[in-house]
Chains A and B, each alone.
Chain A
Amino acid sequence: MAQSLSVDKSGARDGAKPRHRKPMFDSGWGRTTLQLAAVIAFFAIWEGAARAGWVSNFLVGSPVKIYEALVRSAQSGELFVDTGYTLFEAILGFVFGTAVGSVCGLGLWYSPFVARLIEPFIVAINSVPKIAFAPIVILWFGTGLISKVALAISLTAIVALIAAYEAAKDADPDLQALLVTLGANKNDVFLKVVVPFTLPYVISTFRINVGFGLVGAVVGEFISSEKGLGHMIFTASSLYDLNTVWAGLFVLMAIGFALYFLIDLIERRLLPWRQASNAPTLRV
């Protein structure tokens, strides 16, 4: 009897402990610390390996020399011109491509007949790797800024179109029926149900398309250009200047990163109804 009592007691003490203990670093600051530590360690090992001669300086470069290349390029002002060009092309391509694609995709909701008619053509266009259009786009639009924007549009528009169309097709039929009984016409249903219903899906394509915008700009610059980060990377690599190549890549990474967070901000602004939640989350 006494023994079972003591067992119960220890059991109760165990039960009082929180079931799920959070790892020590599982907080905003903790995560940032770990992430920064990982980045520093990565570059330190890279630099160390390059200095000790474990890896070829010529083929992989070294962080310190990459930094020097960045500073040199920044001092001459070229870095900012190139970055500005690529950024401008990517954003222009992203905005136009996504806007045109989304509007067309949404527009297909109006006519299921037209939608079904052109579906195979959309699939066909989508199944070509769009980068393969690059040579034609350069021929048509020249070696300047427009060809890069056009390439970025060709990459982003189709993604936005398919996402918007698929989402619009799934717009809740019961909500549409409700609006019809309240006297709504087709335009009302479109503006008050289909568009807001589709918006989250369209915005989620922003994340993908920001990346595709950069891809279009950089690939266009690879093929033929006088300015831009793609041009900087391409010329440096043909001169075997690996450190400058890395410098260009890291700037591209920074751009992509910044744009991603910008989209996050836009999403929060446009979809306030998705943020508010007091539902408890399940910890498995």
Chain B
Amino acid sequence: MAVQLALRDIRKSFPVKTGRVDVLGGLSFDIYERDFVSIIGPSGCGKTTVFNVIAGLLEPDEGEIEYRGERVDGLRGKVGYMMQRDLLLPWRTVLQNVLIGPELAKMPLGEARDMAMEYLNTYGLAGFENAYPRMLSGGMRQRVALIRTLINDPDIILLDEPFSALDYQTRLYLEGVLMEAVETFNKTVVLVTHDIDEAVALSKRVVVLGGRPSHVKKIYDIDINARTPIGARSDPNFAGYFHALCGELDIQTEAA
């Protein structure tokens, strides 16, 4: 499999009152073309820092990022970015929010508008294109955020616990929507999460971070071929991965 994105010995520390605290202590892993990688780890292990380094929002102190064999500083403009907060601009309508990417890329807006309307239809938001975000439910807003991410046709989609603020039903539904979209559009996805269940259900590989400063503890290949997140959860291998990852994070799963 071809490597799309390679992180090489990434180090990052942040200033605190008493000097500096090391967050990432030499992190290396590869992300393949059309990969779906989840990054999990105990809280405070620097998951979001890795995320921001890949997104190009933070510069690492040391280390290299290679994109398709070339050294880059970060992937600004190449990535789609979704967070727990939907990050819709409240002063823009749904359609205007979706069109922010094409607008910034100075794409012809007529074409982009047609595409946006098609996406909105596909994801059940037809008729809401002129509504403001505050009039929509949390699930609808997160779908708008997903469309905004997809319409920009990013090479890599970065997700930082995108569904953790939603109720379980909405979340299962959106996980399904995401998996389908990733299949259809051949995207590479990096998912940062603390939710082991979600990581196993969605990913092809799971990167476990640990230690302080953190490093890659282990990488699991998830051998589940289900097409839906619900299907994945009923796969015979699911429980095994789930327990193994809980063990990695020192979570007690069986009564001692």
Contacts and interface: CB of A to CB of B under 8 A. Distances in A.
Interface of A: 174-175, 177-184, 188, 192-193, 196-197, 199, 271-273, 276-278
B135 A180 contact: no
B90 A178 contact: no
27 contacts: A174-B83, A174-B85, A177-B52, A177-B57, A178-B81, A178-B87, A179-B100, A180-B76, A181-B56, A181-B57, A181-B76, A181-B77, A181-B79, A181-B158, A182-B100, A182-B152, A183-B105, A184-B104, A192-B89, A192-B100, A272-B132, A273-B90, A273-B91, A273-B132, A276-B134, A277-B134, A277-B135
Contacts of B76: 180-181, 183
A179 B148 CA distance: 11
Interface in B81-95: 81, 83, 85, 87, 89-93
Contact of A276 (B79, B83, B132): B132
A174 B162 CA distance: 14
A174 B87 contact: yes
A179 B104 contact: yes
A202 B89 CA distance: 18
Contacts of B132: 272-273, 276
A165 to B, nearest CB: 20
> Which of B81, B85, B91 has the most CB atoms of chain A within a 10 A radius of its CB?
B91
A174 B52 CA distance: 11
Nearest to A189: B104
Interface in B126-146: 131-132, 134-135
Contacts of B100: 179, 182, 192
Contacts of A271: 91
B55 interface: yes
A188 B85 CA distance: 21
B101 interface: yes
Contacts of B93: 273
Contacts of A181: 55-57, 76-77, 79-81, 158
Given A273-B132, A273-B134, A276-B134, A183 B104 contact: yes
Contacts of A183: 76-77, 104-105
A273 B134 CA distance: 8
Nearest to A173: B57
Lowest 5 A-B CB distances belong to which pairs? A183-B77, A181-B81, A273-B132, A196-B91, A178-B87
A175 B135 contact: no
A273 B92 CA distance: 7
Contacts of B55: 177, 181
Contacts of B131: 276
A175 B145 CA distance: 12
Contacts of A175: 87, 89
Interface in B50-94: 52, 55-57, 76-77, 79-81, 83, 85, 87, 89-93
Interface in B1-60: 52, 55-57
Q: Max chain B CB contacts within 10 Å: which of A178, A179, A199?
A: A178
Nearest to B158: A181
A193 B89 contact: yes
Contacts of B89: 175, 192-193, 196
A177 B104 CA distance: 14
Contacts of B105: 182-183
B101 A182 contact: yes
A145 to B, nearest CB: 37
A175 to B, nearest CB: 6
Contacts of B135: 276-278
A178 B89 CA distance: 10
Looking at B52, B89, B158, the one whose CB has the most chain A CB atoms below 10 A away is: B89
A181 B131 CA distance: 25
B90 A180 contact: no
Contacts of A199: 91
Contacts of A179: 100, 104
B81 A188 contact: no
